[in-house]
Each structure stands twice: as structure tokens, then as C-alpha cells.
Structure 1
Amino acid sequence: MIKTKSKNQFPLKDLLTKYGSQPVISSVGKDYTYWQLFKLVQRATKRFDNNSEKIIKLTENDPLKFITDFLAIVQTENYPLIGSFITDQFDLKIKDLTTETFFFGLTSGTTGEPKVYRRNWLSWKKGFDCCRKLFNLDAVQSIATSSPLTTSLGLHTLMLAIYLGKKFYLIDNIHQLNSLSGDACLFSVPTFLLQSSNNHNIPPNNLRTIFLGGGTLTSQGIKKIKQQFSQAKLFEFYGSSETSFISWQDITNGKFKFSAGQLFPNTQVSIGLQQEIIVTSPYLFSGYLAQTPPKNWVTDDLGFLKKNHLFLLGRKADLIDHGGNKVAPLEIETAASDLCQKCVAFGVEDQVYGQKIALLMIKPITKKQLQKKLAQRLEKFKCPNIYLVTNEIPLTSNLKISRSQLAQAYRNGEYDEI
């Protein structure tokens, strides 16, 4: 049975009254209205009513089943634990609950072991209301994502679409963009579109706006995406599971070096002693397990502010300790971006320097040309010591780059030196 929730819980019944006959989910070529989704959720609640465990693990499965189960768990005053993999190490107890808990999620683990975080509904609602106004989302009919629903970006996009009365699409290949109805927007990561940048056989589609996060786009990357989606406006956003949006920028016509854009409305950022980014906003998460809600959040990234504009220097964990100098991989990658098709810089252990700088590339110019060009663009201690070539740069299951995994692959002899 669907129960009446507090104002800090997802208002499914209110949305049903407002949008009842409108399509809300498109799954396997079939559209479901709010009324039809509501009936599916009602049916699913029978499995979760009077559940003694309260916290129910929910992993990726059939998208429609995931959506109905997620909503049914929430509406029966239980709590979903979301993740692409959930082991017994994440053993949540009733004591971990608060009345404000909307769901539990897992961080991606790209900077360490995945952590369980707690999110409340009002923190997302405030962000959704802000996105609606800031990006004129009332003008679109469909909202799509390529990110799995078990990721914070995928689930965030799903709930944004349902809350705003838009038809939601989950896509896993570039050609599915042609199925989007009406004016549409896409929330994705750069790698999803850049992997398909060599495919020029995509006919015109209704995609009008593209929001990209989870990776820093180079000028070359922006150019490739614009060539393929010339009719769409491009926005880049910066944030995390813990913070939601921190900053955003219109990159349709390019962007400044290292730019992460202007701060999201009502968001404040300060810079720590070691250039760490400290965020205060109404969109913050409610803390990790056994933690009280934080007043601010120190991200894993380093950066600086200039006139309310945020610039990123890379992740603290990714900094390369080369001879006592802290080198940001992003600076090397930016300098080399036009010298190859794609590149990633990372550190590899070295007894003399602590770490040497490795640069892994797809279709680079010659090593001699690389060394000459980079010597002109970078300080001497920032120039790569090792030049590697590959046909493909591997990604994690969340379509992100893990520099620690690349370093391990190098140690295993998986890449050829130029």
C-alpha cells in the first residue's frame, strides 16, 4: 500500500494528480503514463509492505522493474540501497536510518573504496527546481541519460524527469537518441559521446541540449561532439554524489583552460590551504554511514576561484609526486590534447623520483615531435618521462578513467612505449 509521506519524501501522489495521463517512462519501445507507472508501483508495494529489514538492496536489472521497485520501496516507508554491486560488507542497520533518508547509494570508488552515502529528498528537490529555471527545462518534453540507474547521475536524471513531468529514456547506445520524442535533453558523461565521435551516420534527432559531467572536456572533445550534434547546446557541469551540482558552464562555443564554470545558484565554494575545493550548499548529501549531515564538504578535487568562476587542477589522489613536485595530470593532458587523438597522464612508481610521469595516447605524433612540443608548453619537471601508445583507453563500469588502474596495467606490461 502506498502511504502518505512527509514533505521530505518523494511526492508521487501529487505528481500523479498533476501529470496523470502524460507519458513518464519509455522502456523497450513502450510508453507508460504516470497512471500506468502508479499501478505498477502499487503492485510492487505488496512485496515491500511490512518489511522487517527496512533497508532493501536494489541493483541494476530491467530498467522498468528497477524504477517501479525503487518507487515502491520509498512509498512503503522503506529505504533503497542503490549500487551496481552490493556485497555483505555494506551491512546497514536500522540505527543508520533517519526520518529524512530518501535512499542510500554507493560512491563510484574511482578515488578509493566505494562508500555508502545517505541522501534526502529535499536536497534533490531544491536542485531540481533550480535546474528547471536555470536551464529552461519546461521547454523540453523528454529527458534521457546514458548512465546506469545505479549511479548518482543516472538516478538523479530519472527522478528529475519524473518530478518535472517529462518522459524519461535510459539509453545505452548513440543510435537510441533518435527515439527521443519532442525537444529532448541528455545527461551523460563525455566518454559516452566521444566513443561514438567517429560514427557520422546518425540521422537528425530531437536532441536540443546536452549536459555532460564526470569528466573534463578538452577543446578537441568539444569540437568532436559539436560536429556530431551541431543542433544541440552543450553544457558541462561539475559535481559529485555527495554535492550534486557545484558549477556549470555553456561550452557550446568552447571554454577557458581548466574551467569548471560558474557556481551553481546558492552554492558557495572556498579553497583550502592545499587548494582543496570546499563546498557549502543546500544540495549536499546527508553524510556517510554513522555520520551527521555535513555543513560543508571537502571534495577530492583541487582548484581555484576567480570571480565566482571555478577552475579545476585535478583530483588530489591523481596528483603525480615527481621529484617532490606535485604535478596535475590535467595540465599535461591539456598540453598534449592536439598532439594525439586522446591521452591520459598518470604516475608510476619510481625509486629515484617517487613517481615518473606516464602519458598514454591514442594515435600520437612521433615521440620526437611530442617531446619538442611539450617542452615548449610545460615546465621541465612536468614533461612526461614515459610515452605509451594504445588503441583504446579502458574505462570503469561507470565510463570513467581510473589512473590507478592504468598504472597497474602499465606495471603488467599492457602498453607499448613509443
Structure 2
Amino acid sequence: MADLLIEVLQAAREHGPRPALTDARGRTLTYAELSTKVLSTAQRLRDNGFTPGTRMLFSIRPGPDAIVLALGTVAAGGTVVFVDPGGGPELFARRTELAGPGWAAAESVLYAASAPGPLRALARRRGVLLPDYSALPVRHIRSGPWLPGVPRRAVSTRNLAKPIDAPFPEPNPDQDAVIVFTSGTTAAPKAVVHTRGSLAAALDALATRCALGPDTRVHTDQMMLGLPALVAGAHWSMPPYGFAPAADPAALAAGLDGATHTFLVPADLAVILDSGVPLPGSLRQVLLGSAPVLPPLLERAKTALPDVELLAVYGMTEILPVAIATAEEKIAHGGDLLGRPLPGVRARLAEDGELLVSGPNLCRGYLGQPPLTEHATGDLARLDGDRIVLTGRKKDMILRGKTNVYPGLYEPAIAALPGVAAAVMVGVPDEIGDERIVLALVPAPDAAPDLADRVRAALPGLIDASALPDEITVLPELPVAGRNRKVDRSMLRAKLAP
């Protein structure tokens, strides 16, 4: 069975002097330097008492230092727990309790801004509620210079990566490597656990369709494309953290100069096409995903980028990728074609038409729950020969940007707020397939006149930041249908459409 860590380190041995990682400032690590830093980090972690099976909370922005520390943690036998501190202190506390970390890694500025003091007060005035990282009862790692608020004994990522004699790790594909929190209320957070083996299978499946090699450069902040690049001996360059392509298409084009591959969400591609900013001729493949990729957008993109292969990727955190379809295939089909399951991926339909998928790239399961043998996607589909065609959604899932939002996880908690008699979240699509989240409230008899404002103020401490609605509206009643008088979400969606 393949092993992500071993594949990356073996590629580093093979491509030693070639560029591996370049950050937004143009600083580059060669493959040899990457390997040395990863193995040195693993050894110094062990020297500092890090033991196999330890979980590390990880809140460092994407960049070469973050990749080195993450791989070094896995090489030391640990598990990286990706956690967003912006979800609010209560949600962070519940997620931390579930993860049970022994270590935490964060940027110095995050420690400083979350510790009691002027920076935390400033963040609060700007509406940012951060958990106090320095108060976590764990060993600490800082990325960046020491600042007030950083624990005195916090280990520096720079010191961890200083060269030291370190052994090459043994293959261990069953080791838990990554935990990613996906969705859930404050009371019931949900996290996906991937192993070194399942991640390797995911990257290998993607590599079967993406022509990556030493002559290619991938420009992205997405690990799902960047890590396969490292395995293939390609050059992975990263845009600045938080860079939004749609906000500055010209900057995106400049960053892509010389790049052969990148990843975009459909909404960003639409804005780039509208802007008229030309993308560089070096591009060979553009991967699209995290939201529906519709034929009209692909037709426009093919006209603007005739020499670029456009690939629509279907998958989810639990198992990625599942299928890939080209622009030509999707346009010719007419429906929402997902494509053929990638090698090793198995797809079947449940009796109600729900798409069920499995394969070596399936996660181990959800943290604290039994292992998975198959994943129920929540999508309704049909099989057109050996191709998957999406026909609808079983769970009323909302797709916004790069996030899947399941309303059923949040509506009960919102409905329990004072003054709320009923709460329903729906996705209102735009012309390129992305969705705005609209929260419809029915007020209780004793509701305050400013119910929408009160609910909006309460939501950051109640639900995931990624599920916060774009709009809140108060209605006298919700449309219902059928004998059981269930909320008619389709009718509500039509009612709320612009």
C-alpha cells in the first residue's frame, strides 16, 4: 500500500537540486532542502518528547514552513489536526476537546492576538473572537519571531528544521496522518481522519489524470494539488495566504506566469473571464472544483483558453478525488456529468439513488466513530454506463465557494435561539453555480423587532464560520408541501431568489 510521506521523501531523493517549494516572496526550497528540513524536524520533535500517536493542533498559514512542519510531524509518528481559530472560542474548545492534542503549532501573531492584552482587545473590537492559544495545556510550537503572548517555552519552527542527522522513516500507511474538521455545531463537531495510505491513494488517483512531472510548475495553495506535485518532482509555488483570485485577476495572472497547472473554484474563473485579463500561455491544465462546474462556464473558458485542458474534479473531504470530467465531456453530455470513477474508486447507487463511493483513498472514518467502508455522499445520481451523472441532492447540501454546508446540522441550534420559532437555511444559486446562503426565520410571538440582528450576533458562537449566512430574512411563515407539511425548500429557494 502506498504511503504519502515515503512518496514525498523518495521524490526528494530523486530530484535533490531541483526547486520543490516557492513561497509568495519568491523564496525557494530545493527537494534536498525540503527532505533535510522534514527529517530534521521529525528528529528534533522526538528529542523534545514528541511521541508516536501524538496529535498536533495546526494553525499555520499555507507556506513552505507549514508544509515542512506538517510532514515532519507525520514523520515523527504524529497526526496533524487542522483547526480554524476563526470559528470562535466555544467551537474551538469543543474541537480541541474531541481531538485531544498533546502539542499545538501556531503563528506568533496568532498567539499574540489571542492572549489577554491589547492585541486581543483590538481583534475583539473588529469582531474577531480568538481562542487563547497560550492557555492550551499542551506543548507549543511557534512560527515566526517571539512576541508577547507566545509561551516562553514554545519551540521555534526554524530551530526544529535546522539540519541534524535523522533517520529515514519506515513505511506506515495505516498511521493517522491528518484530521480535518468539516462541519457540525458547537455541541457536535465532526472531523475526518485520513491515514498516510489514504492520502497517498488520493494523490496517486489525481496524478493519473494530471500530467505532472519535473517539467511542470503548480501554482496553488491547495494541498490536494500541491502534494501530488511534490511526489511527481514538479515545482510547487504558492500565492500569498488569503489571496482571492476574483479580487485581483491581474495579480493571479502574474503569479501564474510560467505555471503549467492551477486550481480554481468556478466563481473565481467566472470573474477572471469577465475581467478580460489574459492568463499566461504556459498553462496546460486548470482544475476546477469545490462547487458545481456548469457547461456554460466551461464553454466560455474554452473560448478564452483554447490551449488549456479544463478538468472538473468531483470529491469531498472524506474521499478525494472520486471522478474527473473534461470540459468537452461535460459540454457534450449536457447534464451534470461527474465523469468516470478514477482508478481504484468504486461507485454504486443506493435504493433511493444516493451515490455511495469507496476505495483506497477513503478516509479511515470520523474521529471517535467506527471506521468507514463506504461513504454516502448525500448526492443523488444515476450511472450512464460507467459514468456518474449527478441528479440532485439528498441532504439539501449547500455549496458555497470551497465549502459544503449541511443545513440540517445547524437549523435545530438556530431554532432554539430566543425569539425564533423556525429556522431554515437554503442555497440560492447564482449564474455560475455557486450559492449564497440565506437563513429564513419565523419569529416567535415574543420575538424582538430586531430578531435578524440578534440572531446574526449569536451565530458566530453557535455554528461553523463557514456556514454563516450571507443574508438573514424574517418571514411570517415558511412554505410547506405534502401530507406531512414539511418545509418546501424548493419553493422557499424560489421565493428568496433575486
- TM-score norm. by structure 2 comes to 0.59
Residue number in structure 2 paired with 1:303: 381
- 1:115 paired with 2:190, answer yes
Q: Secondary structure of 2:352's partner?
A: coil
- State how far apart, in whole Å, the 2-side matches of 1:182 and 1:18 are: 23
Are the equivalent residues in 2 in contact too, given 1:8–1:100 (CA < 8 A)?
A: no
Of 35, 38, 42, 1:41 maps to: 38
- State how far apart, in whole Å, the 2-side matches of 1:234 and 1:14 are: 30
- State how far apart, in whole Å, the 2-side matches of 1:120 and 1:343 are: 31
How big is the shift at 1:62?
5.5
Of 129, 133, 144, 2:204 maps to: 129
| CA deviation map 1:240-295 (0-9, x unaligned) | 01011111111147252122122222222111232211112221010011233311
Greater helix content? 2
Residue number in structure 2 paired with 1:103: 178
Are the equivalent residues in 2 in contact too, given 1:25–1:33 (CA < 8 A)?
A: yes
| CA deviation map 1:193-241 (0-9, x unaligned) | 2233321133534111011111112222223333443321111011101
- State how far apart, in whole Å, the 1-side matches of 2:198 and 2:337 are: 26
Cα pair distance change 1:343/1:319, threshold 3 Å: closer
- State how far apart, in whole Å, the 2-side matches of 1:104 and 1:343 are: 27
How big is the shift at 1:299?
1.0
- 1:316 paired with 2:316, answer no
Cα pair distance change 1:282/1:39, threshold 3 Å: closer
How big is the shift at 1:93?
3.8
| CA deviation map 1:101-148 (0-9, x unaligned) | 1221122669x97521111122232333333333333385112325xx
Cα pair distance change 1:33/1:411, threshold 3 Å: farther
Aligned-pair identity (%): 18
Over the residues paired in the alignment, what is the CA RMSD in angstroms? Answer: 3.8
Cα pair distance change 1:208/1:108, threshold 3 Å: farther
- TM-score norm. by structure 1 comes to 0.69
- State how far apart, in whole Å, the 2-side matches of 1:234 and 1:303 are: 23
Of 368, 381, 392, 1:290 maps to: 368
Residue number in structure 2 paired with 1:405: 469
Q: Secondary structure of 2:390's partner?
A: strand
- 1:138 paired with 2:213, answer yes
How many residue pairs match? The answer is 340
Residue number in structure 1 paired with 2:445: none
Residue number in structure 1 paired with 2:12: 16
Structure 2: runs of 5+ lacking an equivalent: 103-172, 399-425, 443-463, 476-494
Q: Secondary structure of 2:5's partner?
A: coil
**In the TM superposition, what are the counterparts of 1:169-188 in structure 2 within 5 Å?**
169-171=237-239, 172=243, 173=245, 174=249, 175-180=251-256, 182=258, 184-188=260-264
Of 22, 27, 30, 2:27 maps to: 30
Residue number in structure 2 paired with 1:372: none
Bigger relative contact order, structure 1 or 2 (CA pairs below 8 A, ≥6 apart):
2
- State how far apart, in whole Å, the 1-side matches of 2:4 and 2:62 are: 25
**Partner amino acid, structure 2, of 1:29:** G
Cα pair distance change 1:55/1:290, threshold 3 Å: same
**In the TM superposition, what are the counterparts of 1:6-405 in structure 2 within 5 Å?**
8=3, 10-11=5-6, 12-27=8-23, 28-42=25-39, 44-45=41-42, 48-49=45-46, 50-51=49-50, 54-61=54-61, 63-85=63-85, 87-90=92-95, 91=97, 92-93=99-100, 99-107=174-182, 115-138=190-213, 141-146=216-221, 154-171=222-239, 172=243, 173=245, 174=249, 175-180=251-256, 182=258, 184-202=260-278, 204-252=280-328, 254=331, 255-318=333-396, 337=431, 344=435, 405=469
Cα pair distance change 1:51/1:307, threshold 3 Å: same
Cα pair distance change 1:8/1:130, threshold 3 Å: closer
How big is the shift at 1:343?
7.3
Q: Secondary structure of 2:274's partner?
A: coil
- State how far apart, in whole Å, the 2-side matches of 1:343 and 1:168 are: 28
How big is the shift at 1:417?
7.6
| CA deviation map 1:14-36 (0-9, x unaligned) | 22211111111111212221122
- State how far apart, in whole Å, the 1-side matches of 2:14 and 2:238 are: 23
- State how far apart, in whole Å, the 1-side matches of 2:219 and 2:81 are: 23
Are the equivalent residues in 2 in contact too, given 1:54–1:79 (CA < 8 A)?
A: yes
| CA deviation map 1:290-318 (0-9, x unaligned) | 23331111112222212111111333232
Cα pair distance change 1:65/1:397, threshold 3 Å: farther
Cα pair distance change 1:200/1:183, threshold 3 Å: same
Cα pair distance change 1:203/1:125, threshold 3 Å: closer
